[in-house]
Amino acid sequence: MTQDAISIVLAGDLVLDEPDGAYWLAGIAPALRAADLSIGHLEVPHTVRGAELKGDVPAPGAPPENLAAIADAGFAMLSLAGNHIADCGAEGIADTIAGLDALGVAHCGAGLTLAAARAPAIVTRGGHRIALLSYNCVGPVASWASKDKAGCAWLRIETADGAPIAPAAALATLTDEARAMLKGDIAAVRDQADIVLVALHKGIVHTPVQLAPYERAVSHAAIDAGADVVIGHHAHIVRGIEFYRGKPIFHGLGNGCVVTSALSPAQDHPARAEWAARRRTLFGFEPDPAYPLAPFHPEAVNAFLGHVTWDADRTIGVRIIPVDVEPPGRPTLASATRAAEICAYVEQITHAAGLPAITISNDGWVEEVTA
């Protein structure tokens, strides 16, 4: 089969709790639709059913009709393995998967069993078979799938002090178990696909720049096992970009589109209200009141979509598509002035995180600085 040059656009967390999902996505939809394939991370279940997951700060089920808006905006593939996909239990996962299947949106990372959650999503574009694998690195353990329990695919990261694994835990060390899971899953899918992407729900939330000790190790392990691109999300703020063995690692894509009242201090859900108050102490910032539907760190307005191209000879090109987040939380393709600021920001946080230096051109192309 002849293989053409293709482009893939990558977005971070998607949380569309508000009505009219099409409106909230319209600002980035042109970039999503222009690509041969656009991939995002679906953070929460889309359901009106299910029992609330205990033991973490649960997200409410998002309106099921917003799945159609996600598909219409241009997303054809979604990762699901994250710390909130099981917040409405097995019913929430089942409803979300059924909704995506009905829309023809490929997905991976969650299922009614661990085997289903670890199964890849595969699509064909331009003669290339493209596979996606998705894993939750941050817990909580209650959200993890098992042989006979619904949940998400996971990679076990050891905590620094032996505390239970949860999003608030200090995660430090990649386990041999996680390396083996990555190696086995990627080896299995390499026989079925030309391009393999691995999505990792990882990192330290609401904090600029900083990478947790395990993040480079797990990303490198995925590439060592055969992945072509590693995609990070969870922190709700973008992270630096790294090239390892010539393959790109987006350590954090930040928010693809997050509009939700569940994170606002003004609510009547006790656990979510407590988290909104505790977040100030833990992370040392006060959300901008102009962003009630996206009350994140002030630097989170510097957002981007990842963009990866493969030429016919499989040469990889990497760029970012700068995105500005406008009040009250709507992402939109950045103006020229804001785009330059965002490119400079990504260069700066890459350097500050201790990653190899990169340069980003005015039109977003990313290159590693070589001696």
1 inside domain: no
Give the residue from 220, 250, 204, 219 showing the smallest Cα distance to 350.
250
* β-pairing verdict for 77-79 and 106-108: parallel
Residue 307 in any domain: the answer is yes
Q: Does 79 fall in a domain?
A: yes
Instruction: Report if residue 226 sits inside a domain.
Output: yes
The CATH number that applies at residue 71 is 3.60.21.10
Domain assignment present for residue 141? The answer is yes
Alpha helices in the chain (DSSP H): 21-25, 29-34, 66-73, 89-103, 114-118, 176-190, 215-224, 270-283, 336-352
Residue 14 in tokens:
């998607």
Distance of alpha carbon 232 from alpha carbon 136, whole angstroms: 10
Tokens of 238: 């973008």
pLDDT for position 157: 96
Residues of the domain holding 54: 6-368
pTM of the model: 0.95
CA distances from 333 to 257, 320, 336 (A): 12, 11, 10
Q: Is residue 349 part of a domain?
A: yes
302 φ, ψ to 5°? -85, 90
Report the distance separating Cα 348 and Cα 341, nearest Å: 10
Residues in the chain: 371
Paired residues of 154 in beta bridges: 136
CB crowding 320-349: b at 16 or more within 10 Å, else e: bbbbbbeebbbbbbbeeebbebbbebbbeb
pLDDT, one tens digit for every residue, the chain (371 residues):
567 899 999 999 999 999 999 999 999 999 999 999 999 999 999 999 887 777 667 788 999 999 999 999 999 999 999 999 999 999 999 999 999 999 999 999 999 999 999 999 999 999 999 999 999 999 999 999 999 999 999 999 999 888 777 767 789 999 999 999 999 999 999 999 999 999 999 999 999 999 999 999 999 999 999 999 999 999 999 999 999 999 999 999 999 999 998 776 666 677 766 766 677 777 778 889 899 999 999 999 999 999 999 987 778 999 999 999 999 999 999 999 999 999 999 999 999 999 999 999 999 999 999 86
The answer to whether the beta carbons of residues 125 and 70 sit under 8 Å apart is no
CA distance between the termini of the chain: 39
State the amino acid at position 311 in one-letter form: D
| Closest listed residue to residue 232, CA positions, set 12, 7, 9, 8 | 12
Rounded (5°) CA angle 283-285-291: 120
Q: Give me the pLDDT at residue 51, please.
A: 79
The DSSP string of 252-283 is -B-EEEEE-STTSSS-S-HHHHHHHHHHHHHH
Task: Say if 257 falls within a structural domain.
Answer: yes
- CA-to-CA separations, 9 to 19, 105, 166, 209, 225, in angstroms, rounded: 25, 15, 30, 23, 23
Give the count of domains, the chain.
Answer: 1
* Number of alpha helices (DSSP H) and beta strands (DSSP E) in the chain: 9, 20
* φ/ψ bin of 258: left (φ > 0), alpha (ψ from -120 to 50), beta (otherwise): beta
CA distance 55 to 57: 7
In 3-state terms, what secondary structure has residue 56? coil
Per-residue confidence (pLDDT) for residue 265, from 0 to 100: 61
CA distance 90 to 272: 21
Is residue 300 in some structural domain? yes
